Amino acid sequence: MAKKKPQKQAAQPKAEKEAVTLADQLGGDVLAKLKQAKQSLAQEAQQQEEERQAKLAFERKQREKNMSFEELLNTYGDKGSKY
């Protein structure tokens, strides 16, 4: 019986050179619109995060404002200065 020789797979350098990216397929105008949309979404997310932080700070101040002296003393204790 004859031994089988392993077949060599041909390298495909042509496929790598001909690979087309999505940016190449899209027109410059469409790509610019997508970048603008991404930037506006990032700004909107940042604005929402800032609003959430401000709301949390306001609620924290309101809770502290409505605390009784006993609750404040239990919360902060002797953390304050003497004077």
| Rounded distance between C-alpha atoms, residue 25 and residue 29, angstroms | 12
Residue 50 in domain: yes
Which residues are CB-contacts of 22 (< 8 A; sequence separation ≥ 6)? none
> Which pLDDT value is given to residue 43?
97
- Provide the whole-model pTM: 0.52
* Assigned domain for 67 exists: yes
Contact 67, 74 (CB under 8 A): no
pLDDT of residue 9: 64
* CA distances, 25 to each of 9, 42, 49 (Å): 30, 25, 35
Task: Tell whether the model's pLDDT for residue 15 goes beyond 60.
Answer: no
What domain range is 43 assigned to? Answer: 27-76
Q: Which of 8-22, 24-38, 65-79 has the lowest mean pLDDT?
A: 8-22
Domain count, the chain: 1
Q: Tens digits of per-residue pLDDT, 34-64?
A: 999 999 999 999 999 999 999 999 999 998 8
